[in-house]
Structures are given as C-alpha cells and as structure tokens.
Amino acid sequence: MKLHKKRAETVIQALEEWNREELISSDLERKLKGTIEIEPFDWRRLARYSFVISIIAFIISVGSIVSDRALMKLIDAYFGAPAAVKATSLVAVSALFFLWGVHRKKFKQDMVFRNEAIFSLGVLSYAAALFYVGQLFHLETESYRRLAFVGCISYGVLGFFLQSPLIWMFSILSLGGWMGAETGYMSGWGSYCLGMNYPLRFVLFGSILTGVGLLHYHSRFLVLQKTTLVMGLVYLFISLWILSIFGNYGDITSWYKAKQIELFHWSILFGLASIAAITHGLKCDDIITRGFGLVFLFLNLYTRFFEYFWDSFHKAIFFGVIGLTLWYFGTQAERIWNFQIGNNKEPHGKKE
C-alpha cells in the first residue's frame, strides 16, 4: 500500500496504538507495517494543483478573449458564421465534453482530476454558447443577467446529476455573479439595494450557502456538500472582512468621513462569525469550519492591529509585536502537538 509520508505516519501510529491496547498482536503489527510503502513525492497533490491552475488559465484566456472587442470582431470576421450557428456549435461541443467526462467517470474512476478538468471544458464551452445566444437576440448588457441565471441553473442541474463538485462550484460562482448583477439592476446600479452595499449582500448570500452546506438531507447531495460549504464560507468571510474595513458605505467619500469607531461593530460581527465557525469545527470535528474560523479570526485581529496602530507605533515596534505574537502562537501550537504525541505514546496498562 503506497501512502504519502504524513498519511503513512498516521497509519503507523494507529497500528502502534492498537498493539499497545492489545487489539492486534505484535506479529500482525509488523506484518501490516511491512505492507506500507512511503511515496517519495505526492504526485496526487501535484496533479490536483496542475489541473486547478490549468482550469484557471483557461478561464482567464476565455475572459480575455471576450473582453477584447477588437479580437472578438476579428474572430467574427474570420469565421463569418451567424451567432445562431456559433451558439449551436458550442452547445454541441459542450455536450461532447460532458458525455466524454461521463464516459471517463464510469470507466476510469481513478482519474478524478482529469475527469473533472474535462467537465470544466464543457462548462466553458457552454458559457461561450450563452454569450452568442445573447448576441443572437441582441440583448443589452443588463439583460445578460438573465442568461447568467440560466447558466447557474444549468450548471447546478448538471453538477447534481453528474455528481461533479467542479460543475457545482461553477454553478455557485454563476449564482453569485447573477445575484450581484440582479441586485445592482434592482437598485439602478446604485450603491445600495435594500439599504445594503455589495459586501453586506454577499454576507447574506454566503450565510445562506453555508447553512445549506451544513445540512444533511439527501444522499446524492453529500458529494457536493463540501463544495457548497467551502464556497459559502469563502463568500461569507471575505465579505465580512471587506465589511469590517469599509463598513456599509457605498462610496469612498462617505467612508473617509466615517470615524473608526463607527466601523467597529462590523469587526465584532466578523470576530463572532469566526468564533462560531471555530466552535462548530471543534464540536463537530469539522476541519473546514475550524480552519476558516481560525484563519479569518487571525486576519481580523491583524487587520485591526494595522488599522489602529500603523500610524501610532514605530515600525520596528509594530512588526516586533507581530513577530512576538506569531512566535507565541507557534510555541503554543507546538506544545499542544507534543502533548498529543506524548499521550499517544504513553503505554497503557494490561487489560484484565
């Protein structure tokens, strides 16, 4: 059995613990340890990161083409096909990518990242098809928000039935884009919609997604639950962080005139959300909520430190305080880790 170094250490510690508790014999422990082979390099992680970066590069490439009007006119002039033909062709290409991905997912289940990358090509082709559908009906810029809604619903249905976390992630991103465009249109592209600026709107959006991600109500949704929870927490905490800096102000002039104390309650809300995530993570042994809570709690504290003490502290003292606090947290984390390792290595008494 080939395992990465960290996973191999965990398995070996578990075997040693079971032997001390007399759940397995010493001979069986040695036999099981002999089956473990440590991989010198984590190729699985490299494959994951490579495909993720590749997908991001494709998205940037497509976005650059669409945003470059001169290039789009050149492409239209060169191919010379009507918008209907282009839209139909791209839908067919998208369908082929999805069918190819389904086939590979059925017969080559171990190629998880490659299969998901193929699905992403189908998603990008379908997005390009929607763009040409807009051109076909001569839609104005504001009307594209309806196509965005069609796109996010289509991605959601495909992601659910194909059980693809990547397509599901695209559906959530599309839903966020549609929500921002729709609320902007409702407010006449002003700063506020129902008294909320954009960060506050996305706080509510992220809260709803996080709540959905924490529910357990359908077996087919379990594969997509982690993606929903992660995306919800990303929307929620990044929006709270921006809100703690700029508050519920719609223009930079109002923000400049605001006093620091007027923004403090947003920082408290940000901190309470982080503590709630940490509490949930510790109580339910959820590494996702615990990790988000810890990261953004520290980000909140250091953001406030920069806000209140950047001008009043000498820079040597300022960064010295940051260094000392990080040193303290590091030593405490190391002490907790050593304490846990010591408990695992502590011999247990014989069972009667």
| pLDDT for the residue numbered 350 | 40
> How far does Cα 339 stand from its chain's mean position?
32
Q: What is the pTM of this model?
A: 0.70
**Cβ density class 187-225: b for 16+ within 10 Å, e for less:** beeeeebeebbbbbbbbebbbebbebbbeeeeeebeebb
Are residue 55 and residue 104 in the same domain, yes or no?
A: yes
Are residue 58 and residue 163 in the same domain, yes or no?
A: yes
pLDDT reading at 340 higher than 60? no
Are residue 141 and residue 172 in the same domain, yes or no?
A: yes
Are residue 93 and residue 33 in the same domain, yes or no?
A: no
Note whether residue 307 is domain-resident: no
| pLDDT for the residue numbered 347 | 47
Are residue 132 and residue 158 in the same domain, yes or no?
A: yes
Residue with tokens 């395992």: 3
Alpha helices of 108-221 — where are they, by DSSP H?
112-136, 144-162, 165-186, 198-213
Contacts of 271 (CB under 8 A, 6+ apart): 297, 300
> How far does Cα 19 stand from its chain's mean position?
40
Distance CA 35, CA 38 (A): 10
pLDDT band at residue 315, thresholds of 50, 70 and 90? low
| pLDDT for the residue numbered 55 | 66
Domain assignment of residue 326, given as a range:
313-352
CA-nearest of 302, 187, 308 to 250 is 187
Distance CA 136, CA 85 (A): 10
Token couple for 93: 């290409």
pLDDT band at residue 69, thresholds of 50, 70 and 90? low
Note whether residue 226 is domain-resident: yes
Residue with tokens 């191999």: 8
| pLDDT for the residue numbered 78 | 52
Are residue 226 and residue 326 in the same domain, yes or no?
A: no
pLDDT reading at 106 higher than 70? yes
Average pLDDT, the chain: 76
Total domains in the chain come to 4
| pLDDT for the residue numbered 208 | 92
| pLDDT for the residue numbered 236 | 93
Note whether residue 153 is domain-resident: yes
Note whether residue 212 is domain-resident: yes
> How far does Cα 173 stand from its chain's mean position?
10
Region 32-53: mean pLDDT is 67
3-state DSSP assignment of residue 2: strand
Are residue 72 and residue 5 in the same domain, yes or no?
A: no
Q: Determine which of 77-86, 90-99, 182-191, 199-208 has the lowest per-residue pLDDT on average.
A: 77-86
Region 288-309: mean pLDDT is 82
What spatial distance separates the first Cα and last Cα of the chain, rounded to whole Å?
35
Using one digit for the tens of pLDDT, what is the confidence trace for 236-262?
A: 999 999 888 888 877 777 777 767 677
Note whether residue 331 is domain-resident: yes
Are residue 288 and residue 319 in the same domain, yes or no?
A: no
pLDDT reading at 63 higher than 70? no
Are residue 182 and residue 59 in the same domain, yes or no?
A: yes
Note whether residue 308 is domain-resident: no
Are residue 319 and residue 345 in the same domain, yes or no?
A: yes
Distance CA 226, CA 162 (A): 16
| pLDDT for the residue numbered 348 | 45
- Among the ranges 32-41, 274-283, 330-339, which has the highest mean pLDDT value? 274-283
Token couple for 14: 């578990």
Region 160-176: mean pLDDT is 85
Token couple for 299: 């980000």
Last residue of a domain, one of 134, 161, 190: 190
Give the DSSP per-residue string, 45-109.
Answer: HHHHHHHHHHHHHHHHHHHHHHH-HHHHHHHHHHH---HHHHHHHHHHHHHHHHHHHHHHHHH-T
Are residue 91 and residue 170 in the same domain, yes or no?
A: yes
Last residue of a domain, one of 144, 160, 190: 190
Are residue 160 and residue 253 in the same domain, yes or no?
A: no
Q: Determine which of 68-72, 86-90, 247-251 has the lowest per-residue pLDDT on average.
A: 68-72
pLDDT reading at 233 higher than 70? yes
Last residue of a domain, one of 174, 190, 206: 190
